[in-house]
Amino acid sequence: MVPNVAGIFARCRNDRCASRLPYVHLRHNGLTLNDTWVCGVECLEEQLSQLFHHSGTPGRRSEPVRSRLPLGLALLSRGFISPDALRAALRMQQECPEVRVGDILRNMGAVNDSQITAARATQWRCPVFPLNEKSLRLNVNDFIPAALLWKHSMLPVHFAEQNRSLYLAFGCEVHYPVIRAIERALGATVVPCMVDDMPLQESLSALAPENEVLLPSITSPEDITRITVGYAETLRASSIRTASVGNDIWIRLHGRQRVDLIFGSDRLIGETRNVEPPESSALLN
Q: Which residues bind Zn ion (CB under 5 A)?
A: 12, 14, 17, 39, 43
Q: Taking the alpha carbons of 177, 165, 118, 134 in that order, is the dihedral positive or negative?
A: negative
Residue with smaller CB distance to Zn ion, 5 or 282: 5
CA distances from 188 to 4, 98, 193, 229, 263 (A): 27, 37, 16, 25, 22
Residue with smaller CB distance to Zn ion, 19 or 62: 19
CB of 217 to Zn ion, least distance (A): 31
Distance CA 267, CA 207 (A): 20
Residue with smaller CB distance to Zn ion, 39 or 121: 39
CB of 16 to Zn ion, least distance (A): 8
CB of 44 to Zn ion, least distance (A): 8
Residue with smaller CB distance to Zn ion, 45 or 173: 45
Residue with smaller CB distance to Zn ion, 42 or 279: 42
CA distances from 245 to 19, 121, 156, 239 (A): 34, 23, 16, 19
